[in-house]
Structure 1
Amino acid sequence: MATMKQEPQSVRLLTIEAEHEGQRIDNFLRTQLKGVPKSLIYRILRKGEVRVNKKRIKPEYKLLTGDQVRVPPVRVAERDNELPSARLGKVQALDTAIIYEDDALIVLNKPSGTAVHGGSGLSFGVIEGLRALRPEARFLELVHRLDRDTSGILLVAKKRSMLRSLHEQLREKTMDKHYLALVRGQWQAHQKGVNAPLKKNELASGERVVRVDKDGKPSETRFRIVQKFQEATLVEASPVTGRTHQIRVHALHAGHPIAGDDKYGDRQFDEKMRGLGLQRLFLHACRIRFFHPGLEQTMVLEAPLEPALKTLLTRMATA
């Protein structure tokens, strides 16, 4: 939390408390100035309108307990009490997607097609939806990310102490995440993992892709066969590292692109899967194991496949 006192012209002076220690000032401002575009937040930081202990700071400045933060008056977009019907439907879908919640954590079975946060032309994401669902929550931050088209388990911290603990578990690789992926062809039992460095690239079109590259960052994914079909294999993928698009690129590198992957997939295979009813990327975060510091116990949570994916697997098994 941060205590606050008012100055004239609606300038706010916030005193940083222990809960926000270590948080970047730009991320802190995004929680304080809800509805304000990120571009405006960075503009007031660049112009020196935000001060910490009366000094100008950069967006990457990390807050310390006791810091005095000056927040200038900023026009916040008016929020209607009534959400547009399309967005209301998405918010309600997120409500039904919550598989676990306590005073420090929300765990979602994120639907495919929903971004984790707005931006890049998207006005709605998981965070925006959760803020609409939990307007009383002072702190809501993503612990990790899922690609927009990937479904499954997503952790959202409701306390900074929880966020710190889970980030440490990610760094120390003590958090286990497991995904289900339907891939092209017959995955061989001896192929138990892919260890290949990954590097982000930008194409001439501006599209960003990830490629296996000797100059990339070390990356490792473990794979296990779950079920074999005539032209495909359902595998469980467990990322050891957490690179962008890691499972998708490693599956491709192994010669088995994931079904429905419009960036790294196989067009002919995808057409066959569409003929069987697949309308999305078949990649689902199905299980996670982590230590809950508040409960002082290890938690294992699972998120079931959506009915359409279960139906697809049934059709393939009987084909």
Structure 2
Amino acid sequence: MSGVQTVIIGPDEADTRVDRWFKRHYPHVSHGMIEKLLRKGQIRVDGGRVKGNTRLETGQSLRVPPMPAPGEVAPRTGISEDDVMMMRNMVIYEDDDMIVLNKKPGLPVQGGSKVTRHIDGLLDAFADNQGRPKLVHRLDKDTSGLLVLAKTVKSAAYLAKLFKTRDLKKTYWAVCLGVPVPKAGEIKGFMRKTSSDQGDRELMVAASHGDEGAQYALTRYAVAGEAGRRASWVVLRPETGRTHQLRVHMAAAGHSILGDGKYLCDIPEPGGLSKKLHLHARKLEIPRSGKPDLVIEAPLPEHMAKTFDSFGFNPRDDLSLVEVALT
């Protein structure tokens, strides 16, 4: 950690925003940390408080508070610089309360049996003098898309509560085998965890009300595109948050998600496509007190983008009618 420094702004850095000056000189420090230092008055220009968008002038003195060195960003786990860069490259949105990642497929969110590299273990990539962010929900290892991290204890409690309600809208995109009939509707019922013959402890099966461990699950769906009868682009909205819910429900409807080797149906997979799971957490609509909802969308991962292109699905299509069908 460096000590306090005073930097005199030269003509080559005049008209630079304060936050961009710090990003240029301390690229390993998160935007959230810089904003916190600004709010607390730790960063000052000519002795006065400033905002991130304040533009510097030649000859001004810039107070630089103690800043972590690159090797100090993740002191608790010693994660590599490559992992720090990978985590930061996944950031799609950040403000004072949260960081939102566009999670890569194949990267687990939390640890488990034989799982040592996961999002939760890499959160020190965002550590600052206020601590590290916290997970407020989960995605399956093979599901890509939006994953929310809370920056403070208060925001963690608020966001975790939101994820348990229907006030926060979650929209997923999937490529499914065949075409569901009807093309819009809902899938609901009870499910519970069981163990497979291979010892898989995260296998969900249909259950009846009153069964031990049975949980009610509801998913709304609408078809957004078709590739003949071979496959379809399905927009999914889970109204509950059960383990593997969308995968279980689409398989139960007879239209498994492409690349799902666990929850199968009778329709064969088309050849020549990626074997990765084609399920993507596309959009979040997060309520905010006194403000419009925060709407965040995540671009498709590479394997799904290629499949969309192969089938002629256009991710830029107007889905307003599909959205209406999901309500």
TM-score (norm 2): 0.66
SS where residue 138 of structure 1 aligns?
coil
Structure 1 residues 268, 226: closer, same or farther in 2, change over 3 A?
Answer: closer
2:107 pairs with 1:114:
yes
2:206 pairs with 1:212:
yes
Partner of 1:201: 194
User: For structure 1, which segment, 118-127 or 256-265, has the greater mean C-alpha deviation from structure 2 after superposition?
Assistant: 118-127
Runs of at least 5 residues in structure 2 that lack an aligned partner in the other structure: 1-74, 314-327
* Counterpart Cα distance in 1 of 2:103 and 2:138: 11
1:155 to 148, 166, 176: 148
1:170 to 149, 160, 163: 163
* Counterpart Cα distance in 1 of 2:97 and 2:91: 14
* Counterpart Cα distance in 1 of 2:130 and 2:198: 40
Larger Rg: 2
1:280 to 256, 276, 291: 276
Partner of 2:123: 130
1:228 to 226, 229, 232: 226
Q: Percent identity?
A: 32
Partners of 2:173 and 2:281 within 8 A in 1: yes
* Counterpart Cα distance in 2 of 1:213 and 1:114: 29
2:228 pairs with 1:237:
no
Residue identity in the other structure for 1:227: G
SS where residue 179 of structure 2 aligns?
coil
* Counterpart Cα distance in 2 of 1:297 and 1:236: 23
Partner of 1:14: none
Partner of 2:68: none
Runs of 4+ with >4 A deviation = 78-82
Partners of 2:164 and 2:241 within 8 A in 1: no
- What RMSD in Å do the two structures reach over aligned CA positions? 2.3
Partners of 2:110 and 2:121 within 8 A in 1: yes
Residue identity in the other structure for 2:276: R
Runs of at least 5 residues in structure 1 that lack an aligned partner in the other structure: 1-77
1:44-193 to 2 correspondences below 5 Å: 83=80, 88-193=81-186
2:244 pairs with 1:249:
no
Partners of 1:127 and 1:140 within 8 A in 2: no
* Counterpart Cα distance in 2 of 1:111 and 1:82: 18
* Counterpart Cα distance in 1 of 2:306 and 2:198: 37
Residue identity in the other structure for 2:279: L
SS where residue 216 of structure 2 aligns?
coil
TM-score (norm 1): 0.67
What displacement does 1:80 show?
Answer: 7.5
What displacement does 1:81 show?
Answer: 5.5
Partner of 1:260: 259
Residue identity in the other structure for 1:199: R
Structure 1 residues 194, 268: closer, same or farther in 2, change over 3 A?
Answer: closer
What displacement does 1:298 show?
Answer: 1.7
SS where residue 312 of structure 2 aligns?
helix
What displacement does 1:315 show?
Answer: 1.3
SS where residue 236 of structure 2 aligns?
strand
What displacement does 1:279 show?
Answer: 3.4
Residue identity in the other structure for 2:207: D
Partner of 2:312: 317
